[in-house]
Amino acid sequence: AQSVTQLDSQVPVFEEAPVELRCNYSSSVSVYLFWYVQYPNQGLQLLLKYLSGSTLVESINGFEAEFNKSQTSFHLRKPSVHISDTAEYFCAAQISGGYNKLIFGAGTRLAVHP
């Protein structure tokens, strides 16, 4: 069965520090990988995605994620976080075929402190 594992439920970090949110997936077939962000009292928004090609993908607000097939990982990183990055981050995998449904990880709460 396909699954997505986010190893850290909470990540506290100081402003301007680097951060890495970890994500591993398990699947025997090709997957598409996504990171979604959920700000307080808002719906989920796409942060970035990996479909194919370059294994390093970037978002418009400074986040990046690297697809590592051998380690089945898709970790999210940012070199310098802001207070406004405080949110819940969800890693998700989409298994191609069928209805292309998303399988979500448990989420990581990123708390940026001044």
- 99 touching another protein, by CB under 8 A: yes
- Three-state DSSP at 74 gives strand
Of 11, 13, 32, 86, the one binding another protein (CB under 8 A) is 32
Across 75-109, b (16+ Cβ under 10 Å) vs e yields: bbebeebeeebbbbbbbbbbbeeeeeeebebebbe
Least Å from the CB of residue 7 to another protein: 13
Alpha-carbon separation of residue 108 from 52, 90, 96, 111 (angstroms): 25, 7, 25, 9
Structural contact between residues 26 and 3, judged by C-beta atoms closer than 8 angstroms: yes
Q: Which of residues 34-63 bind another protein (CB under 8 A)?
A: 34, 36, 42-46, 49, 51
Stretch that binds another protein, among 12-20, 60-68, 71-79, 90-98 (CB under 8 A): 90-98
- 22 touching another protein, by CB under 8 A: no
Which chain residues interact with another protein by CB under 8 A? Answer: 9, 32, 34, 36, 42-46, 49, 51, 90, 94, 96-97, 99-107, 109
